[in-house]
Amino acid sequence: MGLYAGMMNEEQKREYSDRELLVRYFRSVAPFKKSLILISLFIFITTIAETVNPLLIGIAIDELSSMNSNPIIVLGVGGLYFILSILLWVIFLLRRKEIGKFVPYYLEKLRMDIFDKLQEQDMSFFDKHLSGKLNTRVSNDALDFGDTTLLLADTLGNILISVLTFGMLLWLNLTLALITLIAIPFIFLLVLSLRRLVKIVSRAYRKAIGSVNASMVESIEGIHVSKSYGQESTISRQFQETNKQYFKAGFRMTSITHMWRPLLETIASISLIVIIFLGGQFVFQGITNPGTIFMFILYLQKFFRPIMVISVFFPQLSSGMAAYERILDILDSEPNVIQSPSAIDIDTLEGEIVFKDIDFCYREGEWVFKGLSLHIKKGEKIAIVGHTGAGKTSLVSLLARFYEFQGGSIEIDGINIRDMSLTTYRKNLGNVQQEDFLFSGSIEENIRYGRQEASEEDLWNAINTVHLEELIEYLPEGLQTQIGERGKGLSAGQQQLVSFARTILTDPKILILDEATSSVDAYTEAIIQEALEVLLANRTSIIIAHRLSTIVNADRIIVMDNGQIVEEGTHNSLLTQGGKYATLYKQYFEHQSLDWEPNHGSLKIE
């Protein structure tokens, strides 16, 4: 067991047949048909040249073994053989050059397709997938499948060589060719069994790589927690177990790769010995000549060589196709939140929000809301309170269209949000989270994130509103100061101020604050409260808060419990009712009041 114990059990939604994978692959490379035609042409020329070479050697041997051999013919055949060898070398270079152009462009397109598909997904998708494993599919799986495109080209060339070579075997000596056919069923059965085994171990191997990446990302992101609790050695042991699973999967993959080749070589060797013996008998009996038998042996080796190569390539090919299968699992994933084809662009919303009979669940049958209704007036400031799991964050997540609800409707200014384009609708929303995300880059880039074309005046108005100018003046590079991923280099309070400035700059008509001040110090909260007076003016606001200061001034307080609205009213009216809010106030908020005094009578001093 351990933190990473479940990572090896990644669930893949769908499986694909080999035929479907190849069809999808050829469809995906269609935009690169010029390169593919050239590569195919080079493979065809190489195949023809390699098929002709043994024929030239056979002609030379027959001519040399003849009593009246003609040296001109021997020299001519030798010269042609040399020219074909040079041609093969040139064609090989040209083919590799064209593949070298095709693969990077194809990988670039494939990665962009995966990345764009991830951007389309709603939050329910990311709830189910670890970021480390998604990163594996964008980077490792795409790279491995890029290598597979080389294998596919080589495999197709080898198959073509085997087919043409066997045709030559039939032409040279039908009897010996038919004897060679006896080995084919055994080879076919070995390759077929190899294919099935490799498909299984390849999937396990890909999952193991994803697990290693996921556990690595999680251990780095949680390093402050593991160090705080002195659990570095525990994390190392757990990662060792994950790494051991990866080793075992890799060992199985390597074993499968090499276990069949000795058997195939044995079958090929037995076939070759039989052909040499029978061919020698045919020569002694005058049925055929030495050159023909020598050509037959050369073609037989060329016939078996691609099969040997495929037996080595096949596990790598299957591993690459397993990677492609995982990529297709992403590309074929459809988001639950889908923009309607007839969606309308929204300019500016007024901000009247109506939740009508909302049914919603994250997992089927586990309802968060069942028939929930709520009306928020234009410009109204709503505070939502309740115990953890009451449904507060779920409510605002549905409003932001992070998730799709199963029943009911949400309307803003009388328009169903499902009828609005996602891009223009979300431009009317401002969303500040408890731990808002800052990207690596400059402070200015992070503030401009939602409105990059904003003027300098608007930018500084947003900065001054949250009193961020004090921090900027303190920093040597000011607005151009670079921060690390997740805002590293700034304190939690400073990160939150940057997030508020980013939201103010977009000037949203509907503002969502999800416990946005719960992780900041008292000084920063005082600054934010002052900024909120400006930010909340003339806009509809929904505030989820654990601080009394952000609740008491709300126009209306919504009390939620188990996905239902159990009370609503002002701070004073709800306290007077003595219900759920009064209980929450005494438990969580009363001690934050300026005139609160502890009950010293309950203290016992020994």
User: Domain-by-domain residue ranges, the chain?
Assistant: 19-331, 353-592
Beta sheet of 366-376, edge-to-edge order: 366-376, 353-363, 407-412, 415-416
Rounded to whole angstroms, how far apart are CA atoms 580 and 565? 11
Rounded to whole angstroms, how far apart are CA atoms 551 and 543? 8
Rounded to whole angstroms, how far apart are CA atoms 567 and 578? 11
Residue 358: predicted pLDDT: 92
Rounded to whole angstroms, how far apart are CA atoms 153 and 310? 12
Residue whose pair of structure tokens reads 């038919």 in the numeric block: 178
Q: How many Cβ atoms are within 10 Å of 592's Cβ, its own excluded?
A: 14
Residue 490 and residue 498 in contact, taking contact as beta carbons nearer than 8 Å: yes
- Nearest CA among 519, 515, 281, 563 for reference residue 408: 563
CATH classification number, 19-331, choose in 1.20.1560.10, 3.30.420.40, 2.60.40.10, 3.40.50.150: 1.20.1560.10
Residue 523 and residue 545 in contact, taking contact as beta carbons nearer than 8 Å: no
- Nearest CA among 270, 264, 306, 273 for reference residue 50: 306
Residue pLDDT, tens place only, 309-360 = 666 666 667 667 777 787 888 888 888 888 888 888 888 888 899 999 999 9
Q: Return the amino acid letter for 25.
A: Y
Q: Between the CA of residue 38 and those of 23, 97, 294, what are the distances in Å?
A: 20, 11, 34
Find how far residue 69's CA is from the centre of its chain.
Answer: 67
Q: What is the pTM of this model?
A: 0.68
First to last CA, the chain: 46
- Judge: domain 353-592, CATH 3.40.50.300: yes
Task: Tokens for 598, please give them.
Answer: 């502890």
SS3 546: coil
Q: What is the CA radius of gyration of the chain?
A: 35
Q: Between the CA of residue 14 and those of 8, 17, 209, 315, what are the distances in Å?
A: 17, 10, 19, 21
Residue 296: predicted pLDDT: 76
Task: Tokens for 432, please give them.
Answer: 């500040």
Residue 602: predicted pLDDT: 40
Residue numbers of the chain with a pLDDT score lower than 50 = 1-12, 594-597, 600-606
Residue 334: predicted pLDDT: 83
